[in-house]
């Protein structure tokens, strides 16, 4: 293959491969509008994308029904439950058990963004997910785990 042919083929091949993991991010962000609210992001959130993004959480959390807790509680069925009630055997921190709230979309968004800011005193060692669409995708995935 000539050098000129490589110059033509390589960019085409790179573009084709880039689409393999495409989550339609830009399209979904456009649909959510400029400076989208959480509600707008949840309308375009993709639970399948969230399942892939949840892999970073899976080091400490499972979502498999009946699976044991890991470093963090199993999150199967956590959506819309009150704080610190999803797993009766998990040793939740006093900070979380005394905090009032339930794991709805808004609370999960705040938690996934910065757990220590939402519940000061939590022992969850996670810096948070800065991207709002990624958080919405993870929330959509957790919402489906019932």
Kindly give the confidence (pLDDT) of every residue in the chain, 146 residues in length, as a single tens digit, with 9 standing for 90 and above: 544 444 434 443 333 333 345 799 999 999 999 999 999 999 999 999 999 999 999 999 999 999 999 999 999 999 999 999 999 999 999 999 999 999 999 999 999 999 999 999 999 989 999 999 999 999 999 999 99
Q: Which of 46, 21, 25 is nearest to 142 (CA)?
A: 46
Q: Interior CA angle at 77 toward 60 and 27, to 5°?
A: 80
Q: List, in order of start, the domains of the chain with CATH numbers.
A: 24-144 (1.10.760.10)
DSSP assignment letter at 2: -
What pLDDT, on the 0 to 100 scale, is given for residue 21? 58
Location of structure tokens 């790179």: 14
């Amino acid at each position: 293959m000539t050098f000129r042919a490589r110059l033509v083929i390589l960019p085409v091949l790179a573009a084709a491969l880039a689409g393999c993991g495409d989550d339609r991010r830009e399209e979904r962000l456009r649909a959510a509008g400029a400076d989208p609210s959480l509600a707008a992001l949840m309308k375009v959130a993709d639970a399948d994308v969230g399942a892939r993004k949840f892999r970073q959480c899976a080091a400490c959390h499972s979502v498999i029904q009946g699976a044991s807790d890991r470093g963090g509680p199993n999150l199967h069925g956590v959506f819309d439950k009150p704080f610190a009630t999803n797993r009766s055997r998990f040793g939740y921190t006093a900070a979380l058990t005394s905090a009032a709230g339930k794991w709805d979309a808004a609370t999960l968004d705040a938690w996934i963004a910065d757990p220590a800011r939402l519940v000061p005193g939590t022992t969850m060692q996670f810096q948070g997910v800065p991207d709002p669409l990624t958080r919405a995708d993870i929330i959509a995935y957790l919402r489906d785990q019932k």
